[in-house]
Amino acid sequence: MKRKIVKEDVDSQVFNFFNILLMIIFTAIIIIPIWNVLISSFSSGKSLAEGGFALWPRDFSLENYRAVFRDDSIWQAFFISVAKTVIGATTHVLFCAMVAYGYSKKHLKGRKLYSAIGIVTMFFSGGMVPTYLLMKSLGLLDSFWVYIIPALLSFFDVIILMNFFRSIPDSLEDSAKIDGAGDWKIFMKIYLPLSKPALATIALFNGVGQWNDFFTTKLYITNKALYPLQMKIYEIIVQSQTHTMQNIGASVVLETTAKGVQLATIVVTTLPIILIYPLLQKHFLSGMMLGAVKE
Partner 1 sequence: MMRIKSFLNAGFLLLLALSLVLTGCTSKSSSAVKGNTDYKLDKNTPAWKLDKTKKTTTLTWYVNADWWNTDYGHDFVTKQIKKDLNLDIKFITGDDTKLNALFSSGQIPDIISIFDANSQMAQKANTWALPLDDLAKKYDPYFNKVASKETMDWHKLSDGKTYGYSNYSNTKADYDSGIIPSTTAFVIRKDVYDAIGKPEMKTPEQFVSAMEKIKTQFPKLIPFGPGEAFGEILQDYIGVPLQTDSGEFYNRNLDEDYLTWIKTFNTVYRNGGISDDSFADDDTALSDKIKSGKYASMLISGIPQKGSDLQTFMTSNPGKEYIAVDGPQSTVGHEPTLSQSGITGWMMNYITKKCKNPAKAMQLFTYLLSEKGETLTTFGIEGQTYTVNADGKYSFTPELKEMRQKNPEQFKKEYRMGEFFFFGHDKYNALSDDTALEATKQLTAWGKGKLKPHFILEGIDPDQGTPEARAVSEIQTYWDSSLVKMVRAKNDQQFDKVLDSYKSFLKQNNWDKITKIRSEKMAENRKKLGQD
What is residue 208's DSSP assignment? H
User: Minimum Å distance from CB 85 to partner 1?
Assistant: 23
Which residue lies nearer to partner 1 by CB, 133 or 274?
Answer: 133
* DSSP for 157-204, written as a single string: HHHHHHHHHHTS-HHHHHHHHHTT--HHHHIIIIIHHHTHHHHHHHHH
CB of 71 to partner 1, least distance (A): 9
Shortest Å distance, C-beta 61 to partner 1: 15
Quick one: 173 or 235, whose CB is closer to partner 1? Answer: 235
- Counting Cα atoms < 13 Å in the Cβ hemisphere of 239 gives 11
Task: Indicate which single residue of 152, 243, 283, 290 sits in contact with partner 1 (rule: CB under 8 A).
Answer: 243
Q: 233: closest CA among 93, 80, 43, 125?
A: 80
Looking at the Cβ atoms of 35 and 132, the one nearer to partner 1 is 132
Strand-pair partners of 60: 43
> Looking only at Cα atoms, what is the longest distance across the chain?
82
Q: How far is the CB of 87 from partner 1 (least distance, A)?
A: 25
Residue 244 binds partner 1, judged by CB under 8 A: yes
Q: How far apart are CA 175 and CA 180, in angstroms?
A: 9
CA distances from residue 119 to 95, 135, 158, 203, 209 in whole angstroms, order as listed: 17, 22, 11, 21, 21
Residue 12 is a binding residue for partner 1 (CB under 8 A): no
Residues 72-131 that bind partner 1 (CB under 8 A): 128-129
* Rg (the chain; Cα; Å): 26
Three-state DSSP state, 43? strand
* Residue with Cβ nearer partner 1 (210 or 240): 240
The one-letter amino acid at 186: I
In angstroms, what is the minimal distance from the CB of 257 to partner 1?
Answer: 6
Q: How far is the CB of 121 from partner 1 (least distance, A)?
A: 16
Asked if residue 171 binds partner 1 (CB under 8 A), the reply is no
Q: Which C-beta is closer to partner 1: that of 137 or that of 171?
A: 137
Contacts (CB under 8 A) with partner 1, residues 249-268: 249-254, 257-259, 262
| Contact set with partner 1 (CB under 8 A) | 46, 48-51, 70, 128-129, 132-133, 136-137, 218-219, 222, 224, 234-235, 238-239, 241-254, 257-259, 262
